[in-house]
Amino acid sequence: MLGCWRVIPTFAATREYRSGFCCRAEDQQTQIQTQSQTQSNGLKTKKKVLVVGSGWAGLGAAHHLCKQGFDVTVLEGGYDFGLNRLVCSPDDYGIRGFWYPFRNIFNLVDELGIKPFTKWTRSAQYSGEGLEVEFPIFQDLPQWPTPFGTLFYTEFIRLSLVDRLTSLPLMAAVVDFDNSDTSWRKYDASKDNSSSADLIFTARELFRQFGCSERLYQDVFNPLLQVGLFAPAEQCGAAATLGMLYYFVLAHQKDFDLVWCRGTVGEKIFGPWMDSMRIQGCKFLEGRKVTDFFFNMETGCISEVICGKESLKADAVILAVGISTLQEIIQNSAALCTRDEFLKVLNLASIDLLTVKLQLDSKVNIPKASNACSGFDDSNGWTFFDLNAIYDEHKDDPVTVVQADLVIQFHATELLPLKDEDVVAKAMSYLSKCIKDFENVAVIDKEIGRFPKSLTHFFPGSYKYMMRGSTSFPNLFMAGDWIITRHGSWSQEKSFVTGLEAANRVVDYLEEGTFAKIIPVEEDEPHIQALRNLNRNLNEIRAQLPWSNYFIQ
């Protein structure tokens, strides 16, 4: 499967970036040369790159840069959410799915020679009324032009064909949304954007305007958003919804197929990956919570990264942390507070997460390994996983081990301080509504994880506050699942890709090394390409008509 993918170096195609950057970089050249001078013994010292954060984004950047011979250090602040809480990352808890289009990650694990994933698995969706949807393994079935395979092979328990067909008009918006800056601005409009005051705001409004039936919305789209964007449709932006739906579900029939990590991502992937980087000279410093940056007024660059009382020199820095920690850094940073793009980040928001791992006193038959649920109460979406089917560690356990991840929305933050017993009771009552057998078993062990503000919230109007990969500091670059990229991927794959893109920006800026090869998302199917071209031409013709500005755009 991987052998036939086309490999295109993204930055080779975007020359504009390199030349645009060189204008700014020229002024810095003298400085860079002094920073990476030759030692007294005549040997050239390596240029120093600091990567802040050791998730997919930070490791992705470090991975490429240490291969290019830079002196790379990854700084990891570590999780500490207060006394009496476990000090660990959501990666030690949350179960991670890897969808068919995660080409760069699948390529990476092949490169590392590891096999961290399950086979392709089937998943299901539940509502408060029980089982709603079962997904097949789409790649095993005859391939139809999108979206017909998804529409007809998916097994809807209660949803009628008529309900399903009401999704078809939405394809007009899918075709119109091409992940460009223009389409993000169009579909992520907010009230203070006067030129597009009446455009679609929320995902719910998008589905309403395109005529989706109430049942299709409640039973399919809303739960999908709870899993893909971690928020119900009325709290998700329409642009993020279209981008996510296209990437995971609609671009190609097989895109919704997924495998699971057979243990924590930390243990199965990051561990061996970091070992391979250590061999190439990469350093990992734990317990280094970055608090500020030292800004050199003469060069206009960040010259040092500050971790409490310690400071580390850098020729280039990549910030690969989530929104909430970046907000913390900005609020305390004299350097970042001076820049608009960082101040805007303070408007962004993140979502709380509660994870519950339960060991039960006997076996429960859980038909599908992974399950998405919504409609159990007003605001929470949640997922549950059969860990006996996913994790090697629990494969032969005589009892059931199940994990429920409750994504907590704004109106439900009161769930976070719930006592452990109450969290378990809630999880068991939810599980029993999905599968009756949960009523007849007892919990013999539990692990609860509380992760405030740990998921990106793509709320309507958030696009204008999101950061790009480059910043107004010439040597400071950004990566993560909330950073704007034209690649088109989402979630872990997006973090990894933006990490590689940040590495490419460093290569470009320091003018050393070669660009990372980033595998692009699979091309649109021919009929989608044709419809997109037609739509673009019609938009151009419409814009040239004399009365084009007469009607609301």
Closest approach, Cβ 511 to ligand FAD, in A, equals 26
d(CA 295, CA 335): 6
Nearer to ligand FAD, 94 or 460 (CB): 94
Q: Could you tell me how far CA 206 lies from the centroid of its own chain?
A: 22
Nearer to ligand FAD, 55 or 469 (CB): 55
Measured between alpha carbons, how far is residue 378 from residues 231, 264, 381, 394, 459 in Å?
Answer: 12, 31, 9, 33, 18
Closest approach, Cβ 491 to ligand FAD, in A, equals 3
Nearer to ligand FAD, 54 or 470 (CB): 54
Nearer to ligand FAD, 53 or 513 (CB): 53
Dihedral (C-alpha) 486, 488, 494, 497: value to the nearest 10 degrees? Answer: -60
Measured between alpha carbons, how far is residue 209 from residues 205, 206, 213, 434 in Å?
Answer: 6, 5, 11, 31
Nearer to ligand FAD, 55 or 116 (CB): 55
Closest approach, Cβ 95 to ligand FAD, in A, equals 7
Closest approach, Cβ 497 to ligand FAD, in A, equals 10
Q: Are 523 and 251 in contact (CB under 8 A)?
A: no
Binding positions for ligand FAD, rule: CB under 6 A: 52-58, 75-79, 89-90, 94, 96-97, 288-290, 320-322, 325, 329, 353, 405, 454-455, 480-481, 491-492, 495
**DSSP secondary structure string, 221-270?**
IHHHHHHHTSS-GGGSBHHHHHHHHIIIIISSGGGG-EEEBSS-HIIIII
**Treating both helix axes as pointing N-terminal to C-terminal, what angle do 103-112 and 491-510 enclose, rounded to 10 degrees?**
70
Closest approach, Cβ 241 to ligand FAD, in A, equals 16
d(CA 188, CA 461): 5
Q: What is the edge-to-edge ordering of all strands in the sheet holding 292-296?
A: 292-296, 301-307, 310-313
Nearer to ligand FAD, 89 or 400 (CB): 89
Closest approach, Cβ 404 to ligand FAD, in A, equals 11
- Residue 120 tokens read as 């392709």
Nearer to ligand FAD, 173 or 521 (CB): 521
Q: Are 390 and 260 in contact (CB under 8 A)?
A: yes
Closest approach, Cβ 454 to ligand FAD, in A, equals 5
